[in-house]
Amino acid sequence: MGAWTVLVLSGVLEAVWASALAASDGFRRPLPVLVFALSAAVSMAGLAHAMTVLPVGTAYAVWVGIGGALTAAWSMLTGRESAAPFKVLMVLGIIGCVIGLRLVG
């Protein structure tokens, strides 16, 4: 699997662990804690793998961008966060920047 593919999947897992962390109720709910721990470990391992090929700044920015955008989108879709038009526009901007980083290498 290529470094970019691993990086994107790791970014998706970042959103999973962030959402699981929120659902863990301060580490008091065992299943979300388990999902958090596993997805965080695999996400970090994927990021580390991608950084063996990609520049650290690019890899980290893409990883955070994907995770942040997906976490915000999920929060908006589930009603836990407002979906104000300007906020949606800013999340789309993050996605555009991630795509731009991929296009410039």
Say how far apart CA 37 and CA 77 lie, in whole Å: 24
Say how far apart CA 54 and CA 47 lie, in whole Å: 10
105 pLDDT band, cuts 50/70/90, is confident
Task: Supply the pLDDT for residue 58.
Answer: 94
Say what percent of the chain tops pLDDT 90.
94
Calculate Rg over the CA atoms of the chain. Answer: 14
Domain ranges of the chain: 3-104
